[in-house]
Amino acid sequence: MSQNKDYAFVVDSTTALNKDITDIVRVEKVSLSITVENLNKPENEWTSEEIAQALKENKNVHSACPSPAEFAQAYEKLFDEGYKDILVLPMNKSISHTYESAVMGRQVLDEEKQKHVVVLELFEANYGLALLVMILAKYSEQGFTFEQVVAKAKEIAPTFHECWTLSTLEPLYKGGRLSRFSFIVGAFLKIKPIIGINETKGSLEAEKKVRTFNDVDKYFLDKIAEAMNKFKHVYMSFVHMGEDDLTNNLIKKVTDLYPDLDYTVFDGVGPLFTVHLGDAGYGIGFIGEGLKNENPTNKEESIPTKIMKLFKKD
pLDDT digits (tens, 9 = 90+) for 102-127: 999 999 999 999 999 999 999 999 99
Q: Which residues pair with 165 in a beta bridge?
A: 194, 282
pLDDT band at 52 (very low <50, low <70, confident <90, very high): very high
Q: Note the pLDDT of residue 312.
A: 56
Helix (H), strand (E) at residue 233: strand 231-241
Structure confidence by residue, pLDDT tens digits, 284-314:
999 999 999 855 555 545 555 565 556 554 4
Residue 301 CA: distances (Å) to CA of 217, 221, 307:
20, 16, 11
Q: Note the pLDDT of residue 179.
A: 73
Angle at 266 between CA 26 and CA 256, to 5 degrees: 125
Q: Note the pLDDT of residue 295.
A: 57
Q: Note the pLDDT of residue 168.
A: 84
* HSE-CB of 267 using CA atoms within 13 angstroms: 5
d(CA 307, CA 314): 15
pLDDT band at 19 (very low <50, low <70, confident <90, very high): confident
CB distance 237 to 204 below 8 Å = no
Mean pLDDT of all residues belonging to the chain: 91
CB distance 228 to 299 below 8 Å = no
Q: Give this prediction's pTM.
A: 0.89
Structure confidence by residue, pLDDT tens digits, 223-273:
999 999 999 999 999 999 999 999 999 999 999 999 999 999 999 999 999
Q: Note the pLDDT of residue 311.
A: 59
Location of each CATH 3.30.1180.10 domain in the chain: 160-310
d(CA 295, CA 7): 40
List phi, psi (to 5°) of 15.
Answer: -90, 105
Q: Note the pLDDT of residue 91.
A: 95
Q: Note the pLDDT of residue 54.
A: 95
Query: What proportion of the chain, given as a percentage, has pLDDT over 70?
Result: 90
Q: Between 182 and 22, where is the model more confident?
A: 22
Question: Can you tell me the mean pLDDT for 16-27?
Answer: 90
pLDDT band at 71 (very low <50, low <70, confident <90, very high): very high
Question: Can you tell me the mean pLDDT for 272-276?
Answer: 92
Q: By three-state DSSP, how is residue 56 classified? A: helix
pLDDT band at 188 (very low <50, low <70, confident <90, very high): confident
Location of each CATH 3.40.50.10170 domain in the chain: 4-31+66-157
Angle at 199 between CA 238 and CA 211, to 5 degrees: 55
Q: Note the pLDDT of residue 314.
A: 42
Architecture of the domain spanning 160-310: 2-Layer Sandwich (3.30)
Architecture of the domain spanning 4-31+66-157: 3-Layer(aba) Sandwich (3.40)
Q: Note the pLDDT of residue 99.
A: 97
DSSP one-letter string for 181-226: HHHHHHHHTT-EEEEEE-TTT--EEEEEEESSHHHHHHHHHHHHHH
Question: Can you tell me the mean pLDDT for 10-31?
Answer: 93
- Comparing 55-59, 90-94, 224-228, 307-311, the range with the smallest average pLDDT is 307-311
